[in-house]
Amino acid sequence: MRLTGAVLVAILVYCAPATGGAQSLPAPASPPLLETTWVVIELSGVPVPLTPAERQPSLQFVAGGRVSGSDGCNRVRAAYTLAGARIRFGQMAVTRMACPGTESLAGRFEAALKNTVRWQLAGQRLQLYGADDALLVAFEARRGGATAGEESPPGPSNAVGPPSSAAPLMSAVFEWRALQAVPIPNGERRQVLDGPTATVDLLHVHVTTLAVGKASGEAVRHPQEEVLIVKEGEVEVSLDGTTQKVGPGSILFFAAGAVTRLRNVGTMPATYYVIYYKTPKTPKA
């Protein structure tokens, strides 16, 4: 039943009309929301300088609805729920280090996350907005090493406690034109869902568009089951050492532990939906 639910989500999204056909993909690529270190450069319209007394807050999102980082002094952790362009953060768990001069920055940062309802990627910037569509906080992608406050997470002795669980995803309709296309090195990506539901620990849906001749990456083994639906274009599917070409409407099921890779072998961008879920039985990556 869990897999059936994931397939139904995919089928509903699949029915959305295609736009653009073989139009060229935008460049340059923006960094992905997940697995990127995002450093605060602006809070409520005020630039955040990097000084010895006031370090820049930062965040890193991971699949599964968790985010961690720094408020400019202390380590912070929280749950988050993502649904298309909507995002909500759970209660922050914060360590208890004393950093004179950073209290105001940390408080404003926490308040901004608490009031965030929408996210947007714009080039190298991640922007979070409030209910009135006002820009609350702007981040810049940083690469090549940890930013301020990104030392190893502390032990239980100086932690407030584990972050609260993210609220279950609620029913929603995602129109194709409302899904934000984020450039990636091999094409585009549209984030749809990433969060817990009433019956699974995580339900994740995104849409990938591969440019002509590009691959999804190196062959990789997935700990969870995955369902892929080809929306348009032609892809070569590598599954546990075998290859097969598939076109629009094809549905792919990858069992847990399968080694997979996709490559666009057509003459136009290839778009497909990726759906997976995680339960207590899912092995840790």
Question: How many CA atoms, within 13 angstroms, populate the side-chain half-sphere of residue 191?
Answer: 22
Residues 139 and 211 in one domain: no
Alpha helices, DSSP H only, in the chain?
2-14, 103-114
Query: 139, 158, 177: which is the final residue of a domain?
Result: 158
Pair 87, 162: CB distance under 8 Å: no
Q: What is the mean pLDDT of residues 110-126?
A: 89
Asked which of 63-67, 187-191, 265-269 is least confident by mean pLDDT, the reply is: 63-67
Nearest to 236 by CA among 265, 209, 207: 265
* Residue 21 covered by a domain: no
Nearest to 260 by CA among 227, 223, 218: 218
Residues 143 and 194 in one domain: no
* Residue 127 covered by a domain: yes
Q: Which of 13-22, 156-165, 222-231 has the highest mean pLDDT?
A: 222-231
State yes or no: pLDDT of 265 exceeds 50: yes
Q: What is the mean pLDDT of residues 219-242?
A: 93
* Residue 154 covered by a domain: yes
Instruction: Say how many C-beta atoms besides its own lie within 10 A of residue 27's C-beta.
Output: 9
* Residue 180 covered by a domain: no
User: What are the C-alpha distances in Å from 111 to residues 66, 75, 136, 192, 214?
Assistant: 18, 16, 9, 25, 41
* Residue 9 covered by a domain: yes
Task: State the residue range of the domain holding 91.
Answer: 37-158
Q: Look at residue 278 in the predicted model and tell me its pLDDT.
A: 87
Pair 84, 75: CB distance under 8 Å: no
Residues 69 and 133 in one domain: yes
Residues 189 and 121 in one domain: no
Main-chain phi, psi angles of 59, to 5 degrees: -140, 155
Residues 50 and 130 in one domain: yes
Amino acid at 193: L
CA separation for the pair 207, 192 (Å, rounded): 7
State yes or no: pLDDT of 147 exceeds 80: no
Residues 145 and 201 in one domain: no
Q: What is the pTM of this model?
A: 0.56
- Six-digit token pair at 203? 């339900």
Residues 134 and 72 in one domain: yes
CA separation for the pair 59, 86 (Å, rounded): 17
Read off the CATH number of the domain in which 226 is found. 2.60.120.10
- Six-digit token pair at 143? 């690469």
* Residue 191 covered by a domain: yes
User: What are the C-alpha distances in Å from 69 to residues 19, 47, 83, 92, 265?
Assistant: 37, 19, 22, 11, 40
Residues 196 and 247 in one domain: yes
Beta-strand runs (E) in the chain = 37-43, 46-47, 58-62, 66-70, 75-83, 86-89, 93-94, 118-122, 125-129, 135-142, 181-184, 187-195, 202-210, 220-221, 226-232, 235-239, 242-246, 251-254, 259-264, 270-278
Residues 72 and 145 in one domain: yes
Query: 120, 143, 158: which is the final residue of a domain?
Result: 158
Phi-psi region of 52 (alpha: psi -120 to 50; beta: other; left: phi over 0): alpha
Read off the CATH number of the domain in which 94 is found. 2.40.128.270
* Residue 29 covered by a domain: no
Number of domains into which the chain is organized = 2
Asked which of 48-62, 180-194, 256-270 is least confident by mean pLDDT, the reply is: 48-62
Q: Look at residue 91 in the predicted model and tell me its pLDDT.
A: 87
* Residue 32 covered by a domain: no
